[in-house]
């Protein structure tokens, strides 16, 4: 198995892209850390993984709260003593309780900060603590989930685009700063709209084709594994990667 006994954590991992990666890592032999906002959801995801108690850790945490992040990385150190793979997946395109995406001229500071704090600051906080553990063992792989809109702007998605452009830049900086420690830092995007729960509930997406979340699995496993040794500071498109490797890309129509 490609990730035998590696310790791998994923934020936002009780559903969607995060859940697919957590499952894929477990199937490849990893010890898995589930992290999300609701303890009930976390407990349910841990049960669904079906791993022995010594091979899984479920953590309720808000990645925008520094003390939450410090606490859950301390739990990781106490349980596993190391960290080999970390995926920053938690994020959203617009505050969930807001009715519509707006142009920058109409965006409230509260909405801007909620998106930036989760997508970008949360990634920073988790990367900082993951790197502290990985540097001790002089190895590791960090995967930052980004988007097509991390390189190409889209109207009415100002905060989201800014956060994902920021993640692309932060990925490159951390790759430069940690290459001497044999720590790889890469960005990974699905390659298009993904059929998440929120995507399905949006009436504007009715009849539109979307990627199934499992599109992310194979490239995430590759970047987490020793197969990607020496690969760092890159930005991968999962759909393109799957096509290049002869892996079927599954779509669904909402």
Q: Which residues belong to the active site?
A: 160
Tell me how many degrees the CA angle 72-76-5 measures, rounded to the nearest 5. 145
Q: Which residues pair with 57 in a beta bridge?
A: 33
**What share of residues in the chain are helix, strand, coil (percent, to 5)?**
50, 15, 30
Q: Looking at 128-250, which runs of residues are DSSP E strands?
A: 140-145, 183-189, 209-211, 235-237
Burial class (CB in 10 A: 0-12, 13-18, 19+), 44: middle
Neighbours of 36 (CB within 10 A): 26
Interstrand relation of 235-237 and 183-189 (parallel, antiparallel or unpaired)? parallel
Closest listed residue to residue 34, CA positions, set 55, 65, 4? 55
């Amino acid at each position: 198995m490609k990730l035998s006994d590696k310790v791998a954590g994923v934020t936002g991992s009780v559903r969607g892209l995060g859940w697919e990666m957590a499952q894929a890592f477990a199937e490849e032999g990893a010890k898995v850390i589930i992290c999300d906002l609701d303890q009930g959801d976390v407990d349910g995801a841990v049960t669904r993984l079906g791993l022995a108690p010594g091979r899984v850790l479920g953590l309720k945490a808000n990645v925008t709260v520094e003390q939450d992040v410090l606490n859950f990385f301390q739990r990781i150190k106490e349980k596993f003593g190391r960290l080999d793979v970390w995926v920053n997946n938690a994020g959203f395109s617009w505050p969930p309780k807001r009715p519509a995406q707006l142009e920058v001229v109409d965006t409230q500071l509260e909405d801007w900060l909620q998106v930036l704090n989760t997508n970008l600051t949360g990634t920073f906080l988790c990367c900082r603590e993951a790197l502290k553990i990985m540097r001790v063992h002089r190895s590791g792989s960090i995967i930052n989930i980004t988007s097509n809109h991390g390189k190409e702007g889209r109207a009415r998605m100002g905060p989201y685009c800014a956060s994902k452009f920021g993640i692309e830049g932060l990925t490159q900086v951390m790759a430069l700063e940690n290459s001497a420690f044999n720590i790889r830092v890469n960005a990974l995007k699905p390659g298009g709209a993904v059929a998440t729960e929120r995507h399905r509930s949006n009436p504007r997406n009715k009849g539109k084709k979307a990627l199934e979340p499992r599109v992310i699995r194979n490239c995430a496993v590759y970047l987490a594994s020793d197969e990607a040794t020496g690969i760092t500071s890159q930005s991968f498109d999962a759909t393109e990667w799957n096509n290049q490797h002869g892996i079927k890309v599954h779509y669904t129509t909402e």
